[in-house]
Amino acid sequence: MFGGVEGGGTKFVCAVGSGPEDVRYQISFPTTTPEATIGKAIEFFRAVQAHTPLAGVGIASFGPVDPEPTSPTYGYITTTPKPGWAQVDFRGPIAAALGVPVGFDTDVNGAALGEHRWGAARGLDTFAYLTVGTGLGGGGMVNGRLMHGLLHPEMGHIMLPHDWEADPYAGYCPYHGDCWEGLAAGPALEGRWQFKAEQLPPGHPAWYLEAHYLALGLVNIICILSPQRIIMGGGVMKQAHLFPKIRQKVQSLLNGYVQKAEITQAIDEYIVAPGLGDRAGVLGAIALGQAAAEAARGT
Ligand code: ADP
Ligand code: ZN
């Protein structure tokens, strides 16, 4: 059995299991202070450990984080604008309390690993996983390994063409204003249209502009990464009507340049929702726990 912590800016989900068909225990609670929230996660896993041994625990965290195991701040949440959560050691207290191997990565890399093991990225070695929710983030794999480098990808903060006449909304990113996240994550929809994203009806002009921004970002990711598939999750993507709008815009922006049938003919299977649905995040965290256990065993 493995534990998983999906640490979100709004809520935490903790679960214990071995895969999508076998999630034994699960709990969810709002994200408050780091001490109280991380403490609740520890309490949950300790209660499970009293009767069920855990071979590893995975943490898939909102970011930015330090994912570099040799760094003195490995497992920390770093420069987040979320009050109280900057420079917080997320992994350390959990590893100390539970005494098992603890894997740690971004929420989107966690979800990508889960999708690779059990979902829409099975059999692929280079793909992107994006979430469009309270923020906009991306991760995934290159050549079969989760994307790391200098830090981890910050796909949500790429810069896009912004036609200020057509869209005078300045964007909400505290660092960049109108980066991709600033223009296209859930709070941007609310800031621009004065309605929560979930309240905007499918035919509303908001969704055509949203599909335009999402497609612009995807075209950049396609050109830089050459992913074999792009998986899009998060609250905003629950609007299923966005998928056909995005796919069509991606095709028209690429304008026939990338000549692969996946894009020109079978784009419905190229830009897709998570195979694990709403559970991609927490199952991804369990997958990180499984990977940590495997790494500790040297397998
Ligand atoms: P988080 O990013 O905190 O993990 P979500 O992925 O649910 O959580 O993202 C929350 C954002 O998604 C909010 O901005 C909310 O307005 C938007 N959202 C949530 N559900 C929907 C929905 N059904 N349709 C459109 N937008 C949604
Ligand atoms: Zn930004």
pLDDT in tens, 116-172: 999 999 999 999 999 999 999 999 999 999 999 999 999 999 999 999 999 999 999
| 120-273 CATH pick, 3.40.1110.10, 3.30.70.920, 3.30.420.40, 3.40.50.1010 | 3.30.420.40
pLDDT on residue 165: 98
* Encoded amino acid at 29, one letter: F
Q: Do domains 2-107+278-297 and 120-273 have the same CATH topology?
A: yes
Q: Which residues of the chain have pLDDT under 50?
A: none
Q: Which residues of 258-292 are buried (b: 16+ CB within 10 A; e: fewer)?
A: eeeeebeeebeebbbbbbbeebbbbbbbbbbbbbb
> How many angstroms is it from 171 CA to the middle of ligand 2?
9
Ligand 1 site residues, Cβ closer than 6 angstroms: 8-10, 133-134, 186-187, 196-198, 234-236, 238-239
What is the rounded CA–CA span in Å between residue 91 and residue 100?
12
What is the rounded CA–CA span in Å between residue 278 and residue 275?
9
pLDDT on residue 81: 86
Q: Whose CA is nearest to atom 18 of ligand 1?
A: 235
Question: What fold is seen in the domain 2-107+278-297?
Answer: Nucleotidyltransferase; domain 5 (3.30.420)
pLDDT on residue 271: 98
Q: Whose CA is nearest to atom 11 of ligand 1?
A: 133
Cα separations in angstroms, 237 against 48, 214, 245: 33, 11, 12
> How many angstroms is it from 184 CA to the middle of ligand 2?
11
Whether 271 and 128 have beta carbons less than 8 Å apart is answered as no
Cβ atoms < 10 Å from Cβ of 243: 18
From the list 297, 289, 278, the residue with the least C-alpha distance to 103 is 289
> How many angstroms is it from 51 CA to the middle of ligand 1?
36
**230-233 and 271-272 as β-strands: parallel, antiparallel, unpaired?**
parallel
Question: Residue 69: left if φ>0, alpha if ψ -120 to 50, beta else—which one?
Answer: alpha
> How many angstroms is it from 259 CA to the middle of ligand 1?
34
Listed residues: CB within 5 A of ion ligand 2:
157, 173, 175-176, 179
Cα separations in angstroms, 179 against 31, 239, 283: 26, 22, 29
What is the rounded CA–CA span in Å between residue 260 and residue 222?
12
**In the chain, domain spans:** 2-107+278-297, 120-273
Q: Which ligand is the nearest neighbour of the Cα of 196?
A: 1
Q: What is the pTM of this model?
A: 0.96
